[in-house]
Structure 1
């Protein structure tokens, strides 16, 4: 039977998002606009993935995200918890209370080239086990999946891929370049454009003459 996943997409305050893009965007409002555009393309791809039943954006400031809500995502508070992992655990506990047997996933919000078929392939490859997909550098994590009815147990942060593996999560070993292409640096931003970014990110880049 196909797995249906409830995906959590954590999104920090837009005013402090993507600080490592500073050399391309030294004005906070510019980085905020790009962070929002990338999140919208990530969410749009997730919503179009048949294996995904719900997409919940876990936000520090839900009122900032009315544009994301128009795509069909649910916007929920991360509970004001300090740190990405505590916020994810907060929302995951609420999901688990509503549906004790569901699969919960955490998907990074900065995957503007994400394709639904690659996300679906990764979910299927998880084989209903706790599993993760590393980023293209092999050190970070772009997707973490729980087993049905089990804890998500997130360990996002520096060297999270190693931390997830050490905690017993199965690495997803598939050629899914758009799922591995998160954006933290100007080099990452150039790379995702070679893969083809979504419409919101492309519009944001063109507005600032950054499109390749």
Structure 2
């Protein structure tokens, strides 16, 4: 996918809300740990990111969402929701994609606070995300939210004057702490912490209450007996 698409974010940088960056691998290789889902896996990966981005765009603290992806079909659907979509031109992994997304946002909104958000938060609730972003703004520095397991990261935020410096992947909570980022411990915000890498994670997200796309995809998964 070349260039940028999207229908939201027409403020041109005049707003004061957060700009979020969401990475997405091509659907055929996304969510490899959900291999047990079989042929439903790409549909689940797409559903997760559609529900995540839809909830983020509905959040009162969010000005816009930029998705970094090389999947044209997913990109078109996300642009239809109102996200900006940019190609993963570094093609050098998750953190490179996030830095690229951050640079794209800075070019458009140089004075905006920026946050990297996982694209696999299908239970995400706009009100909980708003609470976390307000807590991050109060930190006046880089700040992050750990995942439900307590080892990874689902959200990394920074103020306009500091680079995002993402360190996602694996034990990223320890990595972000070591980088000097402040950990957000309140609010509890379970929907912002519950990412989905495994079928057990999906069950936990379903218990919280997932968005409409994931509900449909999970029903298809149940129908095939996974």
Alignment of 1:37-76 (within 5 A): 37-76=47-86
Task: Answer yes or no: is the 8 Å Cα contact 2:145–2:184 preserved in 1.
Answer: yes
2:194 aligned with 1:181 = yes
Q: Which residue of 1 aligns with 2:10?
A: none
Q: May I ask how many residue pairs the two structures share in their alignment?
A: 207
Which ranges in structure 1 are unaligned for 5 or more consecutive residues? none
The separation in 1 between residues aligned to 2:145 and 2:163, in whole angstroms, is 17
Distance 1:172 1:182, change over 3 A: same
Alignment of 1:116-127 (within 5 A): 116-126=126-136, 127=138
Deviation at 1:147, TM superposition (A): 1.5
Deviation at 1:157, TM superposition (A): 0.9
Task: Answer yes or no: is the 8 Å Cα contact 2:49–2:122 preserved in 1.
Answer: yes
Deviations 1:151-191 (A, max 9, x none): 01000011101111110111111211000000001110111
Deviation at 1:4, TM superposition (A): 1.3
Of the candidates 119, 141, 146, which is equivalent to residue 134 of structure 1?
A: 146
Deviation at 1:206, TM superposition (A): 1.4
Deviations 1:57-116 (A, max 9, x none): 111224442122211111111214211101111121222233222111110000000000
Of the candidates 38, 42, 46, which is equivalent to residue 32 of structure 1?
A: 42
Deviations 1:114-167 (A, max 9, x none): 000110000000114211000011111000101123201000011101111110
The separation in 2 between residues aligned to 1:3 and 1:187, in whole angstroms, is 38
2:172 aligned with 1:160 = yes
The separation in 2 between residues aligned to 1:144 and 1:4, in whole angstroms, is 15
Q: Which moved more, 1:75-84 or 1:14-23?
A: 75-84
Task: Answer yes or no: is the 8 Å Cα contact 2:141–2:182 preserved in 1.
Answer: yes
* TM-score, length basis structure 2: 0.87
Runs of 4+ in 1 over 3 A off after TM superposition: none
* TM-score, length basis structure 1: 0.92
The separation in 1 between residues aligned to 2:32 and 2:19, in whole angstroms, is 29
Task: Answer yes or no: is the 8 Å Cα contact 2:147–2:154 preserved in 1.
Answer: yes
Task: Answer yes or no: is the 8 Å Cα contact 2:66–2:105 preserved in 1.
Answer: no
The separation in 1 between residues aligned to 2:197 and 2:74, in whole angstroms, is 21
The separation in 2 between residues aligned to 1:207 and 1:26, in whole angstroms, is 11
Of the candidates 74, 78, 92, which is equivalent to residue 82 of structure 1?
A: 92
2:52 is paired with a residue whose SS is helix
The separation in 1 between residues aligned to 2:199 and 2:125, in whole angstroms, is 21
